[in-house]
Amino acid sequence: MQRNAFGQIVASLRKERLDPLTGRPWTQEQLAAASRLSLRVIANLEQGKKATLDGAVLEGLATALQLTTLERREFFTMAIDLNDESPVTPVFDAHAADAELLELFACLHQPAFLYDDYFDILAANHAALTLHAIKPVWLQSLASEGERPNFLHVIFAPDSPMRRSMQAGWRMLALRNLHQFRAMTLRHRHTTRWHTLMAQLRMLPDFSAYWEETHFDQADVYSHLRQHHYVHSRVGELRYAVMANTVYRPGVHRHLTALLPMEPGEIC
């Protein structure tokens, strides 16, 4: 990642913090005070100028910006890779990687979704749509012209079938997926796509409140492995683990999640 992109991400994260008195985004001065860094360091960072990014500096920034555990991991990784243009080797074949991922996806019998860093859905198999009674026509109706439907829109839409099918389990689903979303989009927080998507999502009921709740310590998620246990509206008690796999690509990565059934009474 280039330094100017990293600086833009820091600036975007700063502006996500709001002054409780004015409701306005934090200034560089406020971030400097909260992170115990000088204003010059903050200004140099955001302008993409060379600056010392040792552990203490990054820790101060991550704490001041209220990054979650998964976000912090991405933030520290980006800082380490400032001189790298791409997360993959020069011989990486994106087309071959995508083909391999699609082949794996097609062989899964468990409910599965394929999506990118922004949670835009690239594919959803029949089992996943059937589990939550999601009709393909409804799913496609969520997408703007020229775009793909977004999984967070599927979750938070007022008429979302997942709200009905998961009942009491919907809240945990929403929080866990927001944590994943925060981490996967961290490297894209400076992009037009990010800001456009967030403006759309903030119009959905519950989204903004749940987004803020992910900052609370008791809601923090520290693993990509998730488990869900709830009473499904049609099939009764369900318990499954959500297994995720990521294909790292130049630009936007690909992610595959599959639901692995577990015995309802099993203790892990």
Domain that holds residue 75: 3-80
Which segment, 38-42, 140-144, 250-254, is predicted with the most confidence on average?
38-42
Q: Name the region of 119 (left: φ>0; alpha: ψ -120 to 50; beta: rest).
A: left
Residue 268 has pLDDT above 70, yes or no: no
pTM over 0.85: yes
If asked whether residues 132 and 165 sit together in one domain, one would say: yes
In-domain check, residue 86: no
- The residue from 55, 80, 105 where one domain ends is 80
In the chain the beta strands, taken as DSSP E runs, fall at 112-116, 121-124, 226-232, 236-247, 254-261
Q: Both 70 and 101 in a single domain?
A: no
Same domain, 99 and 71: no
Are 28 and 129 within one domain? no
Q: Which pLDDT does position 251 carry in this prediction?
A: 83
Spatial distance between the Cα atoms of 85 and 250, rounded to a whole number of angstroms: 9
Q: How far apart are CA 266 and CA 268, in angstroms?
A: 6
- Same domain, yes or no: 176 and 201: yes
In this structure, are 121 and 244 located in the same domain?
Answer: yes
98 & 228 share domain = yes
Condensed to tens digits (0 to 9), the pLDDT of residues 98-131 reads 889 999 999 999 999 999 999 999 999 999 999 9
CA angle 180/168/150 to nearest 5° reads: 35
How many domains are there within the chain? Answer: 2
Residues 49 and 105 in one domain: no
Q: Confirm whether 102 is domain-assigned.
A: yes
Count, residues in the chain = 268
5-22: pLDDT as tens digits: 899 999 999 999 999 899
Query: Tokens at residue 37, please?
Result: 């860094």
Q: Do 121 and 69 belong together in one domain?
A: no
Instruction: Please state, in angstroms and rounded to a whole number, the distance separating the CA atoms of residues 9 and 189.
Output: 6
* pLDDT score for 48: 87
What is the CATH classification number for the domain harbouring 43? 1.10.260.40
| pLDDT band for position 157 (cuts 50, 70, 90) | very high
Q: Which of 80, 110, 129 is the last residue of a domain?
A: 80
Mean pLDDT of the 179-208 span: 94
Looking at 35, 55, 80, which one is the last position of a domain?
80
Cα–Cα dist 110/10, whole Å: 39
Residue 223 lies in a domain: yes
CA separation for the pair 27, 14 (Å, rounded): 7
Q: 51-72 b/e with 16+ CB inside 10 Å = b?
A: bebeeebbebbbebbebbebbb
Q: Are residues 42 and 152 in the same domain?
A: no
| Count of beta carbons in the 10 Å neighbourhood of residue 207 | 20
Pairwise CA distance, residues 152 & 170, whole Å: 12
Mean pLDDT of the chain: 89
